Amino acid sequence: MRIELTARSKGPIVRAEANAEDKMAALDLALDKMAAQMRRAADRRRVHKGRNDHLSVAEALAALARSQREHLAPWEPERPAHWFTEAGQREALEQADRDRAADRSYAFVITDDAGHLLGRLTLASVVRGAGQFCSIGYWVAREAAGRGVATAAVGQALQIAFGELGLHRVQAEILPHNHASRRVLEHHGFQRYGLAPQYLRIAGRWQDHELWQLLAPAEGQQ
């Protein structure tokens, strides 16, 4: 039995489907999936800053991008000025919603227990069919570096990639001198499998990238 649910509101349309041997079991599974999607949608749109001040995610991400602009400059593509505005981040969030709905990419924010933004993570370029893999990218704010924040966030993302998304492989592309990112990947068991010359235009110039990958745990080892 297959059940498909659709929820419509002022926000985005939320859909969930599930299969089970009987109707009620399928309904329970679909409701659980829909509740999880609604919680994630709410988390993406509102973050907590301080004790009483609430900002939209777009406002908070724009503020974070501006505060970390210099810190991230050596590791990211050059960004237009619009990227650092609330409007620019709102457009990016809307695109992220479309990508998630189309199973192309899954964007996340990294927060502490109080809801303060510490960074971002993306499971991008999802390939289905015979491939079943994606690329992972992540960064954390200067203030959060060296505290295990990226390591914990990547661990949670891998659970989603291999669990909820059912992927076979997660790959990562990092600059050869990005030692902090390499330590995160090594911690989770990624293996380097190649070097791509002039792979991406980072900090205004084409730069080589190391290629790393992690295969899904064998059944019973997750």
* CA separation, residue 168 to residues 10, 124, 128, 183, 201 (Å): 36, 14, 10, 22, 28
**For the segment 70-115, what is each residue's pLDDT rounded down to a tens digit?**
999 999 999 999 999 999 999 999 999 999 999 999 999 999 888 8
Question: What is the average pLDDT score of the chain?
Answer: 85
Structure tokens at 53: 């001040």
Q: Are residues 108 and 62 in the same domain?
A: yes
Confidence of residue 45 (pLDDT cuts 50, 70, 90): very low
Distance separating alpha carbons of residues 207 and 146, to the nearest angstrom: 25
Residue 136 lies in a domain: yes
pLDDT in the model for residue 115: 85
190-214 residue pLDDT tens: 999 999 999 999 999 999 999 999 9
pLDDT number for residue 54: 46
pLDDT confidence of residue 51: 37
Q: How many domains does the chain have?
A: 2
pLDDT at 113: 87
Task: Check whether residue 70 and residue 159 sit in a common domain.
Answer: yes
The residue ranking higher by pLDDT, 33 or 183, is 183
Of the CA atoms within 13 Å of residue 127, those in its CB half-sphere come to 11
CA distance 98 to 92: 10
- 3-state SS assignment for residue 13: coil
Q: Which domain holds residue 26?
A: 1-49
Q: Tell me: do 42 and 82 sit in the same domain.
A: no
Q: What is the model's pLDDT at position 52?
A: 38
- Residue 114 shares a structural domain with residue 12: no
221 within domain boundaries: no
CATH of the domain at 193: 3.40.630.30
Whether 220 maps to a domain, the answer reads no
